[in-house]
A = this chain, B = another copy of it.
Amino acid sequence: MESRSRRVGRPRRLSREAILRTAERILTEEGAEHLSMRRLAKDMSSTPMALYHHVRDKDELLLLLLEVRTARLPPAELPHEPRERLLAGARSLHEMLADSPWAMDALTPDGRVNTPTRRIVETMIDAAVACGLNHERARHAYRVIWYYTLGELLVRFHRERARRQGDSTPWERAMHSLDPVAFPLLAGLGAQLTEIAGTGHYQRGLEAVVDGLLRKGVA
C-alpha cells in the first residue's frame, strides 16, 4: 500500500459532514424555505452541482438531516404502565418533529421513517396491545394518534411561519378583501387560539384521543 495515498492531490473542499452542517445552520437560523441547493452551495463558496457529488438529490439531503437530528435525541424512557407508554411514544414523535418542521414532507407518506422513528411506532403498537386491543385495533389506534399529532404539528408550523412573516402575507390580504365583516371575528378567534396553543395542549388532547381509543366495549 502506498503510505502517501492520503493527503495527495487537491484537498476535498466539500464533504457530507460539511454539507449537513451548513444545511443545519440555514435550517435553524432561517427556516426550511431558505434551504435550496443553490443557496447551500453559495454559503459553502461552491457550485450547486458540487453538492450532487455528495448527495443524490435534495430529498436525500433532507433525509440525512433528519437522521442527524434523531440521532441526537436522548433515548426515550419507557414507562411500565402501557397507557403511559403509549402517551410517551406519541410525545416522542411530537417532540422529534417539532424540532424539524422541514421533515414533515418526507414523513407524511406512511411507514417511511428512519429506524429510531420506527422503533417508537413499534413501541406504541405494542403498548396498545398491552392495553387490551387486538393487533388490528392497536394499529388503528396508532394511526389515529399519528393523525392527531401530524395535524397539531402542521397547524403549529403554519402559525409560527405566519408570525415570522408578520400579518401581511398575501393570504391575510386576500382574507381582508374577501370578507371584511368576518375579520374581527377571526381576529378574536386568533387570540383565543394563541392562548390555547401553549405547551400542554397537545398533551391534553392526546389523552382524550388515547382514552377514546382504549375505551371498552367497542368492536
Chain A residues at the B interface, C-beta cutoff of 8 Å = 56-60, 63, 67, 106, 108-112, 114-115, 118, 139-141, 143-144, 146-152, 154-155, 158-159, 162, 169-171, 173-175, 177-179, 182, 185-186, 189-190, 192-193, 196, 201, 204-205, 207-213, 215, 218
CB distance from A67 to the nearest CB of B (A): 8
A218 — nearest CB in chain B belongs to which residue?
A: B208
In the assembled complex, the Cα of A177 lies from the Cα of B218 at a distance in Å of: 42
CB A66 to nearest CB in B, in angstroms, measures: 10
A55 to chain B, nearest CB (A): 9
> Taking each of A146, A152, A201, which has the highest tally of chain B beta carbons within 10 Å of its own beta carbon?
A152
A147 contacts across to B, CB distance below 8 A: 147-152, 154-155, 205
The listed residue (B63, B154, B171, B205) touching A171 by CB distance below 8 A is B63
- Chain B residues contacting A186 (CB-CB under 8 Å) are 111-112
Instruction: Knowing A148-B147, A150-B150 are in contact, say whether A59-B209 is a contact too (CB < 8 A).
Output: no
Known: A151-B151, A196-B139. A189 touches B111 (CB 8 A): yes
A209 near B178: Cβ-Cβ < 8 Å = no
Known: A147-B152, A212-B215. A174 touches B115 (CB 8 A): no
Q: How far is it, in angstroms, between the C-alpha of A129 and the C-alpha of B71 when the chains are bound?
A: 44
Query: Which residues of chain B are within 8 angstroms of A185 by Cβ–Cβ distance?
Result: 118
Contact of B56 with A170 in the complex, beta carbons under 8 Å: yes
In the complex, besides A56-B174, A141-B208, A147-B205, 5 extra interface pairs with C-beta distance below 8 angstroms are A144-B148, A147-B151, A150-B154, A208-B215, A209-B213
